[in-house]
Amino acid sequence: MYKATDQSQPTFLDFNQPLGLKMNPQNRWVKIANLVPWEQFEERYALLFPSNIGNVAKPLRMALGSLIIQTKYGFSDKELVEQLTENPYYQYFIGLPGYQEAAPFESSTLVAFRKRISADMLMEVNEYLLEMANHDKKDDDDFKPGSSGSSDNPSNTKNSTNKGTLILDATCVPSNIRYPQDYSLLNEGREKLEKIIDRFCSDYSLSAPRMYRKEARKNYLALAKSKKPGKKKIRKIIRKQLGYVKRNLGYLSNFMMQGYAPTEKEIKFLETITTLYEQQNYMYEEKTHSVKNRIVSIGQPYLRPIVRGKAKNPVEFGAKFDLSIDEHGYERIEELSFNAYNESTILQNAIERYKERTGHYPKRVLGDQIYRTRGNRSYCKLKGIRLSGPKLGRPSKNNEYDKKIEYQDNVDRIEVERAFSLAKRSYSLGLVKTKLKETTMTAIALSIFVMNLFKIHSRFFIYFIWNLLFERKFSLAIVPQ
């Protein structure tokens, strides 16, 4: 059940401050609260509660405001509740009518907040936020002052109405899981199966089958404690672990054939462990280390290995997404998936969405080599868009000019790398700790939304300071000497 808020706290002056507490109306959380489109969220959020039966859910501003604070500082759920209890500015931001010493909600409620506020909702309202920020801003041809966007050779552009810049790149957001060793995954699956068998035997008064727990544990530790195990030893341990898992799956299959039912949570684990056993058995028999839709975490079976080719982490385990940055420096998620898709397939859709937003195609698109397929080159040429990177074929007569353009494009493209670095260092994308697929996608979309929110706030602040200095300079200039 949900009741829409009556917006009884429209201004900072309405916030009830106890005697002796003086809050600064220029505090950034007070100002950011005026930037968030709460009304747009409220409309989407209310649709999640079609029934008028049950307890009234927490207001949207409290749910989203709490997640924004958590994303900014990376607080745990328990720590976030403590911070909300102690900080009056946070309480104002989440929509409380006045300062209170009691906690606004339990830490477990944050899980429900992340489930209700979906990634699609966040991306939709992020677009609304950026539309508001760009409403009074004139479209620029250049991404930066002095860039090559405005100095392109007109002969390189068919459509003179093209303007602006679109930057594209992809990254992986690692999830908080243990590195997926094959023998370790099989041992974890074996232990979970043993717990399910124990539960069956306890609830249904069944005799416990022989599972060789101590022997299986000793077998696993013999490899886990080895510093440099050889290939033969690894294969030997994996073969034995496969046997333990197969035996336990057989026990559970017999129990279920007799009419004993597992719980809903146990069914999910059984499906995951069965798939894990089939994949590991296939790789063992075929002597390979790759399989389609490989499971790397029993608790999070939706995660996939993403090969990034980086020196530090050649393979990461988490979601992959494409990020676009427009000429104003604002970020948007163009694609979000847990599968290792090819980034080059995203370029044309991202350009078309850019045209839907602005009414024109970009003048240039900046991306790395993977986006420069022949299909994408032909598409950009047809639309009058200059795709960054060296041209195909022989060097032209204006080779030196082309090299300057290419160099400037590479310099401007670094902006997306800065955005990835900022999101991972300061907006909780360095390591996602959520456990569910939906909440993980929400955490990623929330990070981009919050990053845009603080960027808009900082630009408004700089604009305010600039106007203040300009007015002061002007007033000093007209003072009679």
d(CA 304, CA 420): 20
pLDDT, tens digit (0-9, with 9 covering 90-100), for 257-308: 999 999 999 999 999 999 999 999 999 999 999 999 999 999 999 999 998 8
Picking from 253, 291, 289, 258, the residue whose alpha carbon sits closest to that of residue 271 is: 253
86 burial via Cβ count (<10 Å: 0-12, 13-18, 19+): exposed
pLDDT reported for residue 13: 65
Looking at the fold, whether 308 and 431 belong to one and the same domain comes out as yes
pLDDT reported for residue 402: 83
pLDDT, tens digit (0-9, with 9 covering 90-100), for 152-177: 444 444 445 899 999 999 999 999 99
Does the pLDDT value for residue 477 go beyond 60? no
Looking at the fold, whether 164 and 216 belong to one and the same domain comes out as no
Does residue 463 belong to any structural domain of this protein?
A: no
CA dihedral 96, 101, 104, 110 (to 10 degrees): 120
222 burial via Cβ count (<10 Å: 0-12, 13-18, 19+): middle
Length in residues, the chain: 481
pLDDT reported for residue 5: 64
d(CA 169, CA 388): 13
Please, what is the average pLDDT of the chain?
Answer: 87
Looking at the fold, whether 354 and 432 belong to one and the same domain comes out as yes
Ranges 225-234, 302-311, 331-340, 378-387: which has the least confidence: 302-311
pLDDT, tens digit (0-9, with 9 covering 90-100), for 243-262: 999 999 999 999 999 999 99
Does residue 95 belong to any structural domain of this protein?
A: yes
Distance from CA of residue 60 to its chain's centroid? 21
Does residue 111 belong to any structural domain of this protein?
A: yes
pLDDT reported for residue 1: 67
Most trustworthy range by pLDDT among 4-8, 28-32, 93-97, 272-276: 272-276
Does the pLDDT value for residue 202 go beyond 60? yes
pLDDT reported for residue 478: 46
Region 75-104: mean pLDDT is 94
Instruction: Copy the structure tokens of residue 115.
Output: 């489930």
Region 175-183: mean pLDDT is 94
Report DSSP state, residue 477: H
Report DSSP state, residue 432: B
Region 74-78: mean pLDDT is 94
CA angle centred on 433, ends 431 and 439, rounded to 5°: 115
| Angle between helix 119-133 and helix 437-477 axes, rounded to 10 deg | 10
Looking at the fold, whether 231 and 344 belong to one and the same domain comes out as no
The CATH number of the domain holding residue 362 is 3.30.420.10
d(CA 75, CA 105): 15
More confident residue, 402 or 87: 87
Looking at the fold, whether 26 and 57 belong to one and the same domain comes out as yes
Does residue 208 belong to any structural domain of this protein?
A: yes
Looking at the fold, whether 19 and 155 belong to one and the same domain comes out as no
Looking at the fold, whether 32 and 149 belong to one and the same domain comes out as no
Ranges 5-14, 21-30, 412-421: which has the least confidence: 5-14
Looking at the fold, whether 362 and 250 belong to one and the same domain comes out as no
Does residue 465 belong to any structural domain of this protein?
A: no
CA angle centred on 78, ends 75 and 82, rounded to 5°: 85
pLDDT reported for residue 392: 83
Cβ neighbors of 140 (< 8 A, separation 6 or more) are 163, 164, 327, 328
Looking at the fold, whether 186 and 162 belong to one and the same domain comes out as no
Does residue 405 belong to any structural domain of this protein?
A: yes
Picking from 244, 235, 320, 316, the residue whose alpha carbon sits closest to that of residue 283 is: 235
Does the pLDDT value for residue 12 go beyond 70? yes
Region 464-481: mean pLDDT is 48
3-state secondary structure 339-351: CCCCHHHHHHHHH
pLDDT reported for residue 47: 83
Q: How many domains does the chain have?
A: 3
| Residue 10 pLDDT level (bands cut at 50, 70, 90) | low
What residue numbers bound the domain in which 231 lies?
Answer: 182-286
Picking from 365, 345, 304, the residue whose alpha carbon sits closest to that of residue 168 is: 365
Most trustworthy range by pLDDT among 36-50, 103-117, 139-153, 155-169: 103-117
Q: Which of 255, 286, 317 is the last residue of a domain?
A: 286
Does residue 246 belong to any structural domain of this protein?
A: yes
pLDDT, tens digit (0-9, with 9 covering 90-100), for 339-350: 999 999 999 999
pLDDT reported for residue 200: 95
Q: Which of 286, 316, 340 is the last residue of a domain?
A: 286
Strands 165-174, 386-387: pairing is: unpaired
Prediction pTM value: 0.86
pLDDT reported for residue 142: 46
| Residue 471 pLDDT level (bands cut at 50, 70, 90) | low
pLDDT reported for residue 317: 95
Looking at the fold, whether 192 and 215 belong to one and the same domain comes out as yes
Looking at the fold, whether 164 and 58 belong to one and the same domain comes out as no
Looking at the fold, whether 332 and 431 belong to one and the same domain comes out as yes
pLDDT reported for residue 462: 58
Does residue 85 belong to any structural domain of this protein?
A: yes
